[in-house]
Structure 1
């Protein structure tokens, strides 16, 4: 008997292999008597039309969501679900797949084990991001991977005044700053020489982008800390969240970043290992010498 009665399906838009996988999933779940809700933003896929639902229905009814695609598709699904406590399962049809950890070839056997309740929950930190302009909130969102405050389209550095828990740390002249969760430590922050944080580490990484000074180094702070980035002087910039949501900020704006009370839960199959995943995705030595 299935542990879940209502399951949502998300996928990468415009991909024929993803559509094929979603149809196979839908047929398998419907055959088991499970109610399936398909994200209606996927576009027209005739075989899935009877199950299409809007995001409000998915947020209120789904007990778990299965995402077919890459990490970007999973980030998009997490953003759509917002504060709803719907756990996510990732089927990897992207390139790397740090969070979509089930191979397409193993999809249906893995779903069998999901329905049997054999998957392990993994709670991931999310960040609440706000932009304050003259004390008034003008933007708010959630981020699972990272928040990037950078120069936007301009070909020059910006200046950012950084505070942690209200205490001044420094003024940074750079291309920008990445504020990354452990989930995001293997994403954009990794390419900027940021630290890799195991998901269980209660930390946030502050990673400068091309700083004008050799002593500006990445630093990891407690995830209970509140971070504030203020755009100083006449420098405008842009606030990016998970590479999918952005806001054009002005000089004097303050970007407030703190731990969200709404973490995201990923569900991993039996035998999942974070370190094995790193070895595979980052091409580290696969076999220990004996």
Structure 2
């Protein structure tokens, strides 16, 4: 059994008033358990109230004693994970979104599933994080972390972009496509899966390159070790191109810009119920357990 948690920090999907009843329900349940409970500072500013809870920022939370509970969908968990990856604070997801590969529990399961987790009966899951840097000439114009994927894409235009891709300074290809996804195993069940990439188990030490609607039919997804450094240089575009990290930002790109992607030194730390496993999640989310219907 792991060490019980001593405090809980609640965070919810931003700019979504529908999460307030769920937050209130979580607050009431945790306080009834006698567990010190806080509301994340930016979350409180977003919903316009503290729900009667003391406020705590991510910077003030402690990795060895605190648990962050994120209420929302996978986007909420990804944003929370980017905030906490450097400090290693654990995150538990309560799903109030759509598919929810990362958010394990629904709000209806809290009363049954949450007490064992709070007492230390849980499994820990460390997920790899990507560091992406945008180099414009000799200057690093932008850098950031991604849990799911780094996406280089054509922005809002209709024309394809052209990228020259290198892995560990070895030329791989020049690709004309709508974009290129560089994903972690976590991200293999997100945009990369929609674009035709394979599903990677979360603990696999690998990165995934998936072209989006490539101009050639011979282009295929590529899985490489996560120790490599990937360079993608924008060599041609007719309309604006952009760089996105986990779909939470969009940075305009210029011809000659180079995006350097490698695994970051930190990891995202997720908490799951003891009995859960990745294949169970796949069966549930992708309906693998259902039998084909009869004609």
Q: Residues 129 and 263 of structure 2 are in contact (CA less than 8 Å); yes or no, is this contact kept in structure 1?
A: yes
TM-score by length of 2: 0.90
Report the Cα distance in structure 1 between the residues aligned to 2:231 and 2:174, rounded to whole angstroms: 12
Report the Cα distance in structure 1 between the residues aligned to 2:205 and 2:256, rounded to whole angstroms: 30
The partner residue of 2:121 within 112, 118, 122 is: 118
| RMSD over equivalenced CA pairs, Å | 2.1
Q: Does 1:85 align with 2:88?
A: yes
Q: Residues 126 and 142 of structure 1 are in contact (CA less than 8 Å); yes or no, is this contact kept in structure 2?
A: yes
Cα deviation for residue 252 of structure 1 reads 0.7
Cα deviation for residue 116 of structure 1 reads 1.2
Q: Does 1:238 align with 2:239?
A: no
Q: Does 1:12 align with 2:16?
A: no
Cα deviation for residue 108 of structure 1 reads 2.4
The partner residue of 1:94 within 93, 97, 112 is: 97
Unaligned segments of structure 1, at least 5 residues: none
The partner residue of 1:257 within 247, 261, 273 is: 261
Q: Paired residue for 2:26?
A: 25
CA change 1:96–1:116 in 2 (3 A) is: same
Secondary structure at the residue paired with 2:214?
Answer: coil
Q: Residues 82 and 268 of structure 2 are in contact (CA less than 8 Å); yes or no, is this contact kept in structure 1?
A: no
Q: Paired residue for 1:273?
A: 277
- 1:25-44 alignment to 2 at 5 Å? 25-42=26-43, 43-44=46-47
Q: Paired residue for 2:149?
A: 146
Q: Does 1:104 align with 2:104?
A: no
Cα deviation for residue 227 of structure 1 reads 0.7
Report the Cα distance in structure 2 between the residues aligned to 1:78 and 1:36, rounded to whole angstroms: 19
Q: Paired residue for 1:183?
A: 186
Q: Residues 121 and 273 of structure 2 are in contact (CA less than 8 Å); yes or no, is this contact kept in structure 1?
A: yes
Unaligned segments of structure 2, at least 5 residues: none
- 1:171-210 alignment to 2 at 5 Å? 171-210=174-213
Q: Does 1:129 align with 2:132?
A: yes
Q: Paired residue for 2:172?
A: 169
Deviates more, 1:59-68 or 1:204-213: 59-68
